[in-house]
Structure 1
Amino acid sequence: MTEFDPSLARTERTTRPHAVVIGAGLGGLASAMRLGALGYRVTVLDRLDVPGGRGSALWRDGHRFDLGPTIVTVPQVFKELWAATGRRFHDDIDLRALDPFYEIRWPDGSRYAAREDPDAMRNEVSRLSPGDLPGYEKFLKDAEARYWFGFEDLGRRSMHRLRDLFAVLPTFARMRADRSVHAHVARRVKDPRLRMALSFHPLFIGGDPFNVTSMYTLVSHLESAFGVHYAMGGVAEIARVMARIVGEQGGLVRLGAEVDEIVVRGERATGVRLAGGEVIDADIVVSNADAGHTYQHLLRRTHRWRWTDDKLERCRWSMGLFVWYFGTRGTREMWPDVGHHTILNGPRYEGLVRDIFDRGALPEDMSLYVHRPSVTDPSVAPEGDDTFYVLSPVPHLGHADSVDWEVEREGYRRRVQETVERQLLPGLGEHLGAQEILTPADFGTRYLSPFGTGFSIEPRILQSAWFRPHNVSEEIEGLFLVGAGTHPGAGLPGVISSAEVLAQLVPDPAEVRA
């Protein structure tokens, strides 16, 4: 087993209460920072050889492949996290504002560029569909109202008590939280391209836009209010600095350390057992592992009354992801109209989503998200070269007759390449260099993600807020959960906010027996 930075970590026992954090993803590292600031002695354990979880990176032939999230949409949550430790976020991380945020392209050749400037956005809407401008203005007001309620209120406090649910039901009803994101957007604009452009965002957190609650229209306000940013060095650089801060606080980040079980005595979590048999005692345990993995595997020998195996298997899970990472040689000056983020739409929207989420079928057509960080951050590739990743939503592995990725892997990659080469990067095949692929099967083995999902439990209305796995476990005393599968949900702002909620729930270290 290895430590992330043993020169910074103090391993001797102290009188401070001990918190063990399972997983060095962004949620786990943020939790460790919060706990360290509160006065806990923290040990973070992760089975990978680098910190960051889904936010880590791979290097191949001089190309850095950022494996997961690529953008920062609410820098304030990071600033507040750093401030809790007595630091300044911008002293450690170089954020670059992107303009445009992303460009959406349709098969008919039309385009839509999302920007921070309100007038530029009105011009984009008017250019596509002038008659939809009044409805677009109403949509923005709807999104802002849902932001203040859904993110700043519900998203930054615990929702583990039933009375918390009852208290917000009138607001949910008034805001028609029962209506899907797409259904809400369709009431505001008529052009099908605009309906897609204003409703696709739940896919970035694993949700079906035709079923996920309309509260998630708040993402449009996040973009317009805070902008879309890229961290130089990628999200992996944010994770690296977070791990360093944990060490500076006196904590320890152990990599290559896989937790096999949460140790329970009586009805209380008292530590963890590693895959090699080592037991680490703790006063509290925080799991940044997927909520499904936490309950089904890490507590497999513990009686559970709410998050039983049957309950978890009945949950609606987010889709899987097929991600093709590749470098290109001598292309830095090629494709001048291709920016940092591009979304390529296939011929279908709703039908494609239905195939992926409901039928569990691998469609013949596809819509793709293309990430080209080298236009912003030259360090991701050798001089003159480019680094890309292309992401395709695909079914998770829990459907009947699920996709066999050992069989489909290379054929699907070729189809992705053909689509990208035809619609965005002509001549791509002549310049290809280093490559990597992650399929849902890889998500299952690398991240221990149930059914190989990209984003854990889908954020439908009856799987959000109180209905989602709570940040404080109702099953076991002394166990807390953070990350994408818990409240408030997936995406960097949600994951970092889950650590903020955690800090409100854990006992005062002064009151915990050392």
Structure 2
Amino acid sequence: MLTPSTSPRPLDSRPHAVVIGSGFGGLAAAVRLGARGYRVTVLEQLDAPGGRAYVHRQDGYTFDAGPTVITAPFLFDELWALCGRKLSDDVDLRPVAPFYRVRFDDGTVFDYSGDAEAMRREVARIAPDDVEGYEAFVRASEAIYQVGFEQLGDIPFDRWTDMARVLPDLVKLEGWRTVHGLASRHVRDEKLRVILTFQSLLVGGNPFSTTAVYCLIAYLERRWGVHFAMGGTGALVRGLVGLIEGQGGEVRCGQSVREILVDGGAACGVELTSGTRLAADVVVSNADAAATYRHLLPARHRRRWTDRRLARARYSMSLFVWYFGTRRQYPDVAHHTILLGPRYRPLLDDIFRRQHLADDFSLYLHRPTATDPSLAPPGCDAFYVLAPVPHLGSGTDWRERAEPYRQRIEQRLHETLLPGLREQVATSLMTTPQDFQDRLGSVNGAAFSFEPLLTQSAWFRPHNRSEEVDRLYLVGAGTHPGAGVPGVLTSAKVLDRIVPHADTLRRARPQPDDESTGSPHAHAAHRLA
């Protein structure tokens, strides 16, 4: 019998999958589940899909809130192919060159690209004695990529024996080193070491503590390039939503989940903050992994990811992001610029170890209008500038610190890349670590969930197949293989190996006139629906 707090079962009789969150991991999971016979409902608490890939529109400017570096486009190609389409049918991906323009505090500039010969010339220009060492680093990065990404990226690490089997490969590839340690093994020039290691910050890791497995990013970028979606990253979100709807699924925005429902040791649906309950044969959480266990799955169902363990875990840094549009264009500024401050390791120590908001900073400046002028009014530019900062464990009160911090960043940009900036700003908004916690649901306001340490990777991370209850699965930055667009898309790919095909669940369902057979979970879902 239906109750006021229970949503009715639609006429579609396919097994139902509920996906919590519409970030790239959740949307990719929905497409893959739809291709395997599920009716999929994606629940998003914000007013539009995307999660960290939300889109802000203000005063004629378009700002991608989150990921702007798109690598491994084949992972998007796979999703479109599952729906009998091509990515190019819906999204125009353009290569970006250089990948990054790195500007040091002394004014030295390095153009980082995927062109092997151009990279050799750039390395020879700033560190002539390190050309051979640089090429050795690239070879090491390729070897790590072949194992860490191609062979293990979409493999579930359900058992400790799964980890034990790959340990010999990790030792051989020097995965026990840190990102900076592996780079330092091959090159001596300090600037070149910075150039080869800052990418780990793009997935929330301190290069001085992140496992060297993440050196695979260097080869991933060289192999597949860095791209930008015309119209902004939001174009990829819109395209994925279109795929889901084309499969007969739906994306519901403004729907916040209060609890994952469990019966007989298995997830059987969700309860929304409105009180509405949705029955499900499987539940996939693309919410922050730590928040999934701390806030959505009641403590009585948790044995491994207890509140105590979650409190002891190490979380990634957070981000301060200032989005702004200018009344003029800055044509000499690259699409992606890394603007380094006077300190490297000491600043990272402040962010990751001391949990101290320092007076100096290193910045990532995104100028999407370098590739797509339509994101700003004619003759104008759209930007966002991002500073890695400590997560909320630092105790920083961002209500007081945000505007002074923004002003220091504005001054720094004025002095370096964007002269006259203060007089040119036409529109402005900010995201702080407090927003990552309050708006995006990240524990401690961490921008990338768990810090990617060796002891928090693979089997040591929350598993893609929940260790706590059956029929609950996790995707996104906080589970295997980790953060970054390729990581979260691959976490959804893992589901193909561990979620039963919809036909298997359909055959196991109890018939309406015979609830004496079938699993307790099937009975619970049938009663709830």
Query: What TM bracket, shorter-length normalisation?
Result: over 0.9
2:146 corresponds to: 148
C-alpha contact 1:62 1:382 (8 A) present in aligned 2: yes
Q: How far off its partner does 1:223 sit?
A: 1.3
| Alignment of 1:97 onto 2:95 | yes
The residue that corresponds to 1:314 in the other structure is: 312
Q: Which residue of 2 aligns with 1:467?
A: 460
Say whether 1:206 aligns with 2:204: yes
Secondary structure at the residue paired with 1:157? coil
Match for residue 401 of structure 2? Answer: 408
Partner of 1:157: 155
Counterpart code for 2:25: G
Change in Cα spacing, 1:118 to 1:11, as seen in structure 2 (3 Å) is farther
Q: Does 1:352 align with 2:347?
A: yes
Provide the rounded CA distance (Å) in 2 between the counterparts of 1:370 and 1:397: 23
3-state DSSP of counterpart to 2:145 = helix
8 Å Cα contact 1:324-1:391 kept in structure 2:
yes
Does 2:108 correspond to 1:110? yes
Give the match for residue 6 of structure 1: none
- Which residue in 1 is equivalent to 2:443? 450
1:131-161 C-alpha deviation (Å, 9 max, x unpaired): 0001001000000000000111111211112
Deviation by residue 1:37-81 (Cα, 9 ceiling, x = unmatched):
000011110111111110111100000011000021111111112
Amino acid at match of 1:413: R
Unaligned runs of 5+ in 2: 1-7, 510-529
- Show the counterpart of 2:80: 82
Aligned to 1:338: 333
Cα pair 2:80 2:243 within 8 Å, conserved: no
Q: Report if the CA contact (8 A) 1:405-1:441 is conserved.
A: yes
The offset of 1:12, in angstroms, is: 2.7
Structure-2 residue corresponding to 1:438: 431
1:287 deviation in Å?
0.3
- 1: distance between equivalents of 2:481 and 2:301? 25
Match of 1:35 in 2: 33
Distance 1:293 1:153 in 2: 29
What runs of 5+ residues in structure 1 fail to find an aligned partner?
1-9
- Which amino acid in structure 2 is aligned with residue 449 of structure 1? S
Residue 420, structure 1, aligned to residue 413, structure 2: yes
Q: 2:391 aligns with which of 373, 392, 396?
A: 396
Distance in structure 1 (CA, Å) of the matches to 2:240 and 2:63: 19
TM-score, length basis structure 1: 0.96
**2:301 touches 2:469 (CA, 8 Å); kept in 1?**
no
Find the aligned partners of 2:335 and 2:501 in 1 and give their Cα distance: 44
CA contact (8 A) 1:71 1:231 kept: no
Percent identity, aligned pairs only, is 52
The Cα RMSD (Å) is 1.1
Structure 1 residue 300 displacement after superposition: 2.6
Q: How much does 1:301 deviate?
A: 4.2
Q: Is the 8 A contact 2:339 2:362 kept in 1?
A: yes
Q: Could you tell me how far apart the structure 2 residues matched to 1:459 and 1:389 are? A: 25
Is the contact between residue 34 and residue 85 of structure 1 (CA under 8 Å) also seen in structure 2? no
**Aligned amino acid, residue 193 of structure 2:** R
Supply the distance in 2 between the matched residues of 1:353 and 1:211 (Cα, whole angstroms): 10
The number of residues matched between the two structures is 500
CA contact (8 A) 1:26 1:239 kept: yes
Structure exhibiting the larger radius of gyration computed from Cα positions: 2
Matches within 5 A, 1:30-429: 30-329=28-327, 331-332=328-329, 335-399=330-394, 402-429=395-422
Query: What is the Cα deviation at residue 191 of structure 1?
Result: 0.9
Asked if the contact 2:68–2:233 (Cα under 8 Å) also holds between the matched residues in 1, the reply is yes
Question: Which segment is superposed worse, 76-85 or 43-52?
Answer: 76-85
Moved over 3 A (4+): none
Q: Counterpart of 2:514?
A: none
> How many Å separate the matches in 2 of 1:80 and 1:397?
37
For 2:166, what is the secondary structure of its paired residue? helix
The whole-number CA distance in structure 2 between the counterparts of 1:268 and 1:302 is: 13
- Secondary structure of the equivalent of 1:187? helix
> Do the aligned residues in 2 keep the contact of 1:154 with 1:465 (CA within 8 Å)?
no
Give the structure 1 partner of residue 494 of structure 2: 501
